Amino acid sequence: MGIFQRFARLPLKSTYIWSLCPQYSTDLTTVDSALIVRSSQLIQHRCVHSRVMGASPGNTGAAPPRLPFSRVTQEDLAFFRALLPGRTITDPDLLKSSNVDWLKTVEGNSEVLLRPKTTEEVSQILRHCNERNLAVCPQGGNTGLVGGSVPVFDEIILSTSLMSQVITFDNISGILTCQAGCVLENLSNYLEERGFIMPLDLGAKGSCHIGGNVSTNAGGLRLLRYGSLRGTVLGLEVVLADGRILNCLATLRKDNTGYDLKQLFIGSEGTLGVITAVSILCPHKPKAVNVAFLGCSSFQQLLETFQRCRGMLGEILSAFEFLDASCMSLLEKHLKLTNPITESPFYIVIETAGSNATHDEEKLHKFLEEVMTSSLVTDGTVATEATKIKALWSLRERVTEALTHEGYTYKYDISLPVEKIYDLVQDMRGHLGDMAKNVVGYGHVGDGNLHLNITSPSKDPALLAAIEPYVYEWTSEWKGSISAEHGLGFNSRPVRPCTYFSPLRCFWRGNGSPTGFSGENYP
């Protein structure tokens, strides 16, 4: 039931297909599997792999066989070193961090890391790898949470970390065009100096890359206000598996001249090509920002607070996030953060963003007065200064960091009807009993996205067997999604077998990501 198991090949002539992106930069005469992967090219594997760190093959099952790709030779290294002088890395010590994911739960065995600076360099790398039948693993910030940003075996790692230039910015339309390796926080700082903001905000903004964000259609904290990247990304530049460059780097907000090809690559997790540049619509920086941190005694009261919030704050509501008491305990225990209000079973982070401070504060005050009077909220605090706002947001953004200190974490990123979000956490606690150290829930109430995390002192096959397929069956029963924003990655193997793509013999994994960011990081 994998979403990548079948792609229908479009029965259209190539000249028409490529004319849909009038800025395409190569003269193409055929449309083949480099763009649309034929089902006959998909090789399915049972995605159980002994590369999980700290595990033995006996605990994880049989590893999928390495596909018949070539090994890197001295001639290949000579080509890469001539193309990327000083940017072809073979030192095992320098490669170590690129072979291991952010959670330090999975690792690969790549012996070569390539660091191109331009789209043309990426094109030449992929053309060479395609001709030599060499496997490639694109990577950027390597902050993913589902094991999709590191090699499975000995793939060449293609890093976009040096592709970090802003190409253009239009301060009238607010359209930013930049290379895929730009760090999200750097883009945010660049835009704020010019009176704009990124429509995307993540806890991992200090290290994740915009190309990876796009490749997994990352959601983030501002989706409630600005929507998903499918709506704000206006254009992409992508290098296909055989090295051809697809230039759809448009800056038009409206264009109905044909198929919207960029949508194929948004959320495709590296299966169709490497995103090298992005154009994105950025909103004006709000003049007034307020953050409220509130406590609720039940999840039902939290949901009722959300309903009141949407009705009373309306156009200035920017975010509505939640975390449970277990999350707060971990923040206090491991990160020494301070709970600014009295202890509660549930906590809410509400952000408003508008153009009139007096107007916004008045609306927020009326909302808070109503929810406190009606006992929906038991306690709360409000911040308007930047430092205090950052402190309140850290209580939500740093939950994933706190969880890393609890031992081994089983992470699930799930979309559900809003009223069912926390039922899964409670049912999972009852289902697991004493098997788990902690079962915690937090996430985005505004878009029905739960981050379910289950911890144990170390990796425990018996615990995993109790969690899966229970969590997936529960989600399916309520017509939810098993990947809301993290991507599928290596860790979704019980639901969907890993799909190995070999369009034109170049290697693209169904669990990869063009810039190594598998969905939202530190969600």
CATH code at position 93: 3.30.43.10
- What is the total count of domains within the chain? 4
pLDDT at 227: 83
| Domain co-membership, 29 together with 91 | yes
**Claim to verify: residue 11 and residue 132 sit in the same structural domain:** yes
Distances (CA, A) of 139 to 66, 78, 147, 425, 517: 20, 22, 12, 32, 7
Any domain includes 492: no
Which CATH number fits the domain that encloses residue 188? Answer: 3.30.465.10
Residues 10 and 91 in one domain: yes
Last residue of a domain, one of 159, 189, 215: 159
Per-residue pLDDT, 316: 94
Domain boundary among 159, 191, 226: 159
* Same domain (yes/no): 108, 45: yes
- Sheet bearing 346-354, strands edge to edge: 379-383, 288-296, 346-354, 317-324, 438-444, 449-456, 408-415
Pairing of strands 136-139, 156-159: parallel
CB–CB of 363/312 below 8 Å?
yes
Both 155 and 175 in a single domain?
no
Residues 269 and 301 in one domain: no
Task: Indicate the angle between helix axes 299-313 and 357-373, nearest 10 degrees.
Answer: 150
Residue 32 inside a domain? The answer is: yes
Residue 25 shares a structural domain with residue 90? yes
Give the domain range for residue 335. Answer: 288-398
419 & 374 share domain = no
The whole-number pLDDT of residue 518 equals 31
Residues 19, 147: one domain?
Answer: yes
Residues 6+ apart with CB under 8 A from 320: 224, 306, 309, 310, 348, 349, 350, 444, 445, 446
Q: In what order do the strands lie in the sheet with 233-239?
A: 166-170, 175-179, 274-281, 233-239, 245-248
| Same-domain check for residues 154 and 170 | no
Residue 356 lies in a domain: yes
Burial of 223 (0-12, 13-18, 19+ CB in 10 A): buried
CATH at 430: 3.30.70.2740
Q: Are 130 and 185 members of one domain? A: no
The answer to whether position 422 is within a domain reads yes
Whether pTM > 0.85 for this model: the answer is: no
Distance CA 191, CA 204 (A): 18
Contact 296, 320 (CB under 8 A): no
318: three-class secondary structure by DSSP: strand
Residue 496 covered by a domain: no
Q: Please check whether residue 172 lies inside any domain of the structure.
A: yes
* Residue 497 lies inside a defined structural domain of this protein: no
pLDDT at 42: 26
Of 372, 398, 424, the last residue of a domain is: 398
Domain contains 504: no
Low-confidence ranges of the chain (pLDDT < 70): 1-64, 103, 144-147, 483-523
7 with 136, same domain: the answer is: yes
Q: Could you tell me which of 185, 390, 426 has the C-alpha nearest to residue 293? A: 390
SS3 421: helix
Instruction: Give the domain CATH number at 334.
Output: 3.30.70.2190
